[in-house]
Amino acid sequence: MNKITTSSQLSEDKDQLLPIASGSQRQLSPVSHFQRILSRGYSADYMFTKDAENRNDAPYTTDTLRHDSPSFSRLVSSSQQAEANAECVEALKIATLRLHGWRLCLHNSRVLEFIGSLVSLALAGIITMTTIHDRPIPRVEIPITATRTIYARDPSIDLKKLGETFTITGLIVTGVGVSLGTHVLVAYILPYFKAARVIRYESRDFLLALVQSISLSALFTQVLKNVTGRFRPCFYDMCGWDFDMIWDGKENLCTLQKWEDEGRKSFPSGHSSFAWSTLFLLTLYLLGRSRLVTADRQDHIYLGFVKIVMLTFCFIPTCLAAWISLTRSIDNWHHYSDILAGSLLGAGSAAVTYAYNYGSIFNWDSAGLPLQEYHFQRLKQEDEIVQLVNKFRIASDQTTDADHPI
């Protein structure tokens, strides 16, 4: 009686699982794959073959009658098929109950990660109060004669200081508020109206990713601001420059020390990095939650239109982040290079923290799932496959013995 006990023994025998899906079809989980094979009348032996990659007659990818397929070993009875489905359901229930035990509590404690992120955010706040690189104020030399030169202000930083379209408070409310509000809509409200996934501890992982993205981008942004000390486009107006004095090109004519320091924090744009670290993270979250980049877009013309609309909706937060970034140039607070650097910094922070907390958005099984939950499901599937293959290979052997008595 050929009994499977561990997944390592399977790898030692060089057995391979059949490919989960082919062509443009969606991927099935290994358990769903196995359950579908059993429900179509195949024995457990069908799941294992030496040259799986060379086979194109999987019963779940074609409508070929199962008795026309040369790959299966033998059929199981209808009672065994019903037992297979019942066993799948029971195994999932047992695995779910097991995951709510002490193992789940052990893996659910992410308090230290929250604390570490908040410490990084506090460190970024402390850096804002440190000394800024004091570079000389730029000047334009205009020679009058061979011995006489007058100095003029640099026109690139001599723009008028305008009011901010997005203040610090407005930026935080927009970035954090839109992200949290959308998360509540998708995770808690949407499941009541349509078939949407309910993911355990999703709020914890989304909030952690949001805090990590903000703290990472803020830390690097503040360090770069203090190290570079680049002048804002409205530096002269911001620092209270004494326009009545004749400038010798050396003396600092700023009259507002606080605003002079603020005028030396142009690179990179903090508004841009914050907006992209929150709203681009939200876009990644929506793409993963909707599985848009993993699904087949050739199913139906109408379905393709719906997916395009959903894709547009997913990128609305990114468009909002881009608009917030551009207002910094419109308000004469940042150069375009500052905005570009801040946007890349924020988007990079969002991508890194999303990859740290969530599975790939390009994989059907992992899209939108926190890595911890995804690993739990993988462990469940491996255990279930071993148990189910064990059970139904035994049942198949018993059927063979009954059909061919010695």
Mean per-residue pLDDT, 341-351: 96
| Res 45: pLDDT | 41
82-96, 283-297, 323-337, range with greatest mean pLDDT: 323-337
Mean per-residue pLDDT, 62-89: 46
Q: 148: closest CA among 248, 250, 253?
A: 248
Q: Which tens digit of pLDDT belongs to each residue from 224-265?
A: 999 999 999 999 999 999 888 888 888 888 999 889 999 999
Is 89's pLDDT higher than 70? Answer: no
Percent of the chain with pLDDT over 90: 37
Across the chain, mean pLDDT equals 75
Which residue type is seen at 388?
L
Strand 48-49, strand 139-143: pairing: unpaired
1-15, 98-112, 162-176, range with greatest mean pLDDT: 162-176
Q: Which of 233-237, 282-286, 344-348, 385-389 has the lowest mean pLDDT?
A: 385-389
Is 128's pLDDT higher than 70? Answer: yes
Percent of the chain with pLDDT over 70: 64
Q: How confident is the model at residue 386 (pLDDT cuts 50, 70, 90)?
A: low
Would residue 334 show up in a list of annotated catalytic residues for this protein? yes
Is 188's pLDDT higher than 80? Answer: yes
Is 154's pLDDT higher than 60? Answer: yes
* Under 8 Å between Cβ of 201 and 218: no
Task: Considering the candidates 33, 183, 334, 335, report the single residue annotated as catalytic.
Answer: 334
| Res 177: pLDDT | 95
| Res 388: pLDDT | 66
| Res 276: pLDDT | 97
| Res 373: pLDDT | 78
Task: Considering the candidates 33, 271, 300, 404, report the single residue annotated as catalytic.
Answer: 271
Q: How confident is the model at residue 90 (pLDDT cuts 50, 70, 90)?
A: low
Q: In the numeric block, which tokens belong to residue 98?
A: 């097991």
Would residue 271 show up in a list of annotated catalytic residues for this protein? yes
| Res 380: pLDDT | 67
Phi, psi of 141 (to 5 degrees): -90, 130
Q: Which of 154-158, 184-188, 246-250, 283-287 has the lowest mean pLDDT?
A: 246-250
| Res 103: pLDDT | 57
Question: Which residues in 234-247 are b (16+ Cβ under 10 Å) and which e?
Answer: bbbbbbbbeeeeeb
